Structure formats: structure tokens, C-alpha cells
Amino acid sequence: MFEEKSIIELVSSLENSFQEILSIIKAIGNNKRLKILLTLLTGEKTFENLKKETKLQKTALANHLIKLMKILLIEKPDYGKYKITSDGELFIRAMENAYKYSDIRESKGMEVIQRGQFSKDFVDSFFGSS
């Protein structure tokens, strides 16, 4: 799915598409819009379905949908139904993929596994020797 580019090629490619990429990040970087995208990953939804699932007011939901449609992450092929585009799915999958192999996830995982306190037995043996 991903082509390996050198750092120079990567920077150049990102710089050439800077505004477009920034618009996509801004569109996804909102908890309600991300929720809409995730909801649409499971299938087409009506405005009412989305309103129910996102718990958004009518106007707010309409605004978020317009933003996502404008950037072609979702579309509305049939009257009343919204659908994630192949680009929308591609970006969500890329994010999930990057996170899955990231150090952030790794360190959070380790943090959860390792967290804890001394047992009473250990405290007693460690400090209780006076």
C-alpha cells in the first residue's frame, strides 16, 4: 500500500501537496468529523442515522458533512444517504496502520502492563527492617 521514498523525496512530495494534506488533517482532526468517518466506514448512513450516532445538532452535523464532502472524504451518491469515499477509507486505514506500528502505542502498551505499586510484602521487607 505504501511506497518507500527517501526522506528527500518524502519532504518534497509533502511540500508540493502541503495545502491539500493540511486540509485533510484539519478535516480529520476533529472528534466529531472523525466519528462521522468511522460511522460511515460501517456502511452508508442517512442524515438522521448520523445525527443519532454522533449526537450532533442538525446544523452542526450539516456543517461537518459539508466540510468532509468538500474535501472528498465522503460523498452523497443517493438522495439522503452519505458514504465514505475510497480516499476517506484510505486515509483512515493509513492512520490506523501508522498508529499500530508506532512507538506511541508501544510505550502506552508497556505503560499499562508495567504500572503498579509495590506489594505490601515487598514494602514490609524493604522498609520494615528497622
Give the 3-state secondary structure of residue 75: strand
Helix or strand run (H / E) with residue 62: helix 58-70
Residue 86 binds another protein (CB under 8 A): no
Residue 108 binds another protein (CB under 8 A): no
Residue 119 binds another protein (CB under 8 A): yes
Is 81:44 a contact under the CB 8 Å cutoff? yes
Contact window for another protein (CB under 8 A) among 7-15, 27-35, 78-86, 104-112:
104-112
Residue 104 binds another protein (CB under 8 A): no
| Cell of residue 115, nine digits | 504500572
Residue 129 binds another protein (CB under 8 A): yes
Question: In what side-by-side order are the strands of the sheet with 45-46?
Answer: 45-46, 81-84, 74-75
Residue 102 binds another protein (CB under 8 A): no
Site for another protein in 29-48 (CB under 8 A): none
